[in-house]
Structure 1
Amino acid sequence: RVLVMTYPTNPTGVMYSQDELNAIADVIRDKPIFALCDEIYSELNYDQPHASMEHSLHDQVVLMNGVSKAWAMTGYRIGIMCAPKKITEQLAKVHQSITTTEPTPMQDAAEEAFKNGMNDAIPMKKEFQKRRDLLYDGLAKLGFKCVKPQGAFYIFAKIPDGLEQDDTKFNYDLAEKAHVAVTAGSCFAQGGQGYVRLSYAISMDQIKEGLKRIKKYIEENKNK
């Protein structure tokens, strides 16, 4: 069995605490269950140090990461995996049969990032935190309800009452009338209906403009 853990997560940006991960680890410890942990946003945590299941359950964890987020190398498609040797040996057999080699320049760039760029994400994290706070506060003033993200660069927000509650219809209507792009919450999982995901991986000026357009849209469309 495999327990899949993703944190911080898309679309909510919610993090686990180390105590919470320790409690989960205690449930599966010494059982034939591995934790597959996607920690691609591990460098982008705002309110607490990054917590990892690897600290709780070293011998039963397969840890996944890469350079797409913290080093903004999305198009390079470089990922890494850390796991106990007995797991890695088996996964390597599968990997070599289904995956072609990444181009050498991309591997060299990723190696440089891991060797000499471990602090490169710090200024970016500080900037993302400012953008998070701006967007979160702005949405709250407009009547959106959402949990404040602790990591990544997304906000998952409940569509305010009085507006179209079908998130797909709301998504298209907002794009057509306000020229603001969001993602319908139902695209992610059951339970996402009535929510939208907003990304703040854009400039402060763009966030301000987007909030201005959403405000105008709400004024023109609420309770209609």
Structure 2
Amino acid sequence: MTEPVLPINREVKDLEADKLLGFQMSVAGIEGITFLTFGEPGFDTPTVVKEATKAAIDGNRSHYGNSQGEPAVRQAVLDYMKDRYDLDYPGIENVVITLGVTEAMQAIFKTLLQRGDGLLIPEPAYGSYFASLSLAGGVAVSVDTTNNGFKLTPALVDEAVAKATVPVRAVLLNYPSNPTGVTYTEAEITALAACFKKHGIWVISDEIYSELTYEQEHFSIGKLLPEQSLVVNGLSKSHAMTGYRLGFILGSADVIQYVQKVHGSLTYSAPTFIEDGAVAALKMSRQDLQYMTDSYEERRDFSRQALEELGFDVVDPEGAFYLFAKIPADFGTDGWAFAEKLAHEGKVAVIPRAAFSHFEDANQYIRISYAASQEQLTEGFAKLKAYVEKARANR
């Protein structure tokens, strides 16, 4: 009898493992370690959302829902995006409700890209993008933004398109950024929009951290390129609803209808009781949620000062809840090695830049999340200080 061969799809077999998750798993078993790694809001889901979700369950809202999203939640998304960012779409046919941003990206990549098409990705970038792109058959056209304040510019776009060996069909923006915390001004977005229009490049704009900006209001590129962009957002970060897995995509109905076909084949629909909870979340005012932003800003300032006092060069953190910092020169240029030693000897977990980038000549950076509680941050930075000072004293 012939032994069966395990029929693993070649693209899945060759799929690059997520380095961020891999690093976290590698240090997870260290006794007494303090994690400053997770992009998990350090708050509970608002009570009004929990109550609406529980009421939906009690009301037997547990049957199949509308695959594109219940009309009520899609209308709430339209109202929310209009109120927050002055984005104006004609109707609920312009919205798809997804299971978080990760599923949204998979649906969009599969919709917009033919096998072998290129996607411009400013790096460093969230690692999950690359796996989703690979599964869709797309090709990453990576752009190193290190020397441009970690921002994409029209000049970098022009250069990348000119040098690309594959047809560049779209660009992926993520702002405020994970992992750098940088964001774009209205003037910068306007210049980029003109560049994308010139090249005929579709824009995929991941704006999941749009509510978490500190010195300026978020400006969505969807305002400038409504017929050439897909805006992705959700409730995980803004409303501390990571476990609810509720995201949404907005765009022209001409393209949304095809995104919906892919989304429907991936997940069919989000749970109806989760969507009811999402309606309650989307109806909350910005003032209702301001306590989160204010607290993150305080934690950002505390964390930044702690790093700078130890000699870290911190990228200006304009949004999200991450600090991207270059390790002190006396610790070398290998951020991965630094993060490993810090975890094992200093009992603090941070994420090295190499988890977010394919460029090897600027890996002396680490990412720290300040979404953790103030108590956890205080503990983590005390350990970091002790590790750095001990290492310097022993030289």
The aligned residue for residue 212 of structure 1 is 382
Contact 1:154 1:199 in 2 (8 A): yes
Tell me what 1:134 maps to: 302
2:45 aligns with none
Match of 1:193 among 341, 353, 363: 363
Which stretch of structure 1 is more off in the superposition, 56-65 or 5-14? 56-65
**3-state SS of 1:49 partner:** coil
Aligned residues: 224
Matches within 5 A, 1:29-178: 29=197, 32-178=200-346
How has the CA–CA distance of structure 1 residues 44 and 144 changed in structure 2, closer, same or farther, with 3 Å as cutoff? same
* Residues 186 and 105 of structure 1: CA distance in aligned 2, closer, same or farther (over 3 Å): same
Q: 1: CA distance between counterparts of 2:264 and 2:198?
A: 29
Moved more, 125-134 or 51-60: 51-60
1:163 to partner: Cα distance = 1.8
Please list the CA deviations of residues 112-134 of structure 1 after superposition, one character each: whole Å capped at 9, or x if unmatched: 11123554331100100000001
Q: Partner residue of 1:23?
A: 191
Asked which structure has the greater RCO (Cα within 8 Å, sep 6+), the reply is 2
The answer to whether the 8 A contact 1:71-1:120 is kept is no
3-state DSSP of counterpart to 2:240: coil
Q: What's the CA shift for 1:167? A: 1.8
Distance 2:217 2:271 in 1: 33
Structure 2 vs 1, CA of residues 216 and 31 (structure 1 numbering), >3 Å: closer, same or farther?
closer
Structure 1 unaligned regions, length at least 5:
none
In 2: Cα distance, 1:37 partner to 1:131 partner: 27
2:316 is paired with a residue whose SS is: coil
Q: Distance in 1 between matches of 2:285 and 2:186?
A: 25
Percent same amino acid among aligned pairs? 40
Q: Match for 2:270: what amino acid?
A: E
Give the TM-score normalised by structure 1: 0.94
Question: Aligned with 2:171: secondary structure?
Answer: strand
User: d(CA) in 1 for partners of 2:209 and 2:353?
Assistant: 20
SS in structure 2 of the partner of residue 62 of structure 1: strand
The residue matched to 2:239 in structure 1 has which SS? coil
Instruction: Name the CA distance, whole Å, in 1 between partners of 2:194 and 2:200.
Output: 13
- Counterpart CA distance in 1 for 2:280 and 2:287 is 12
Aligned partners of 1:118, 1:216: CA distance in 2, in Å?
A: 39
TM-score calculated relative to the size of structure 2: 0.54
Q: Does the 8 Å CA contact 1:136/1:148 hold for their aligned counterparts? A: no
| Structure ID, larger Rg | 2
Query: Considering only aligned residues, what root-mean-square deviation do their CA atoms show, in Å?
Result: 1.6
Partners of 2:172 and 2:386 lie apart in 1 by 41
Question: Residue by residue, what CA displacement relative to the aligned partner does 1:158-211 show, whole Å, maximum 9, x if unpaired?
Answer: 111222532222112111222111011111002551111000011223222222
Equivalent position amino acid for 2:383 in 1: R
| 1:101 CA displacement | 2.1
Q: How big is the shift at 1:11?
A: 0.6
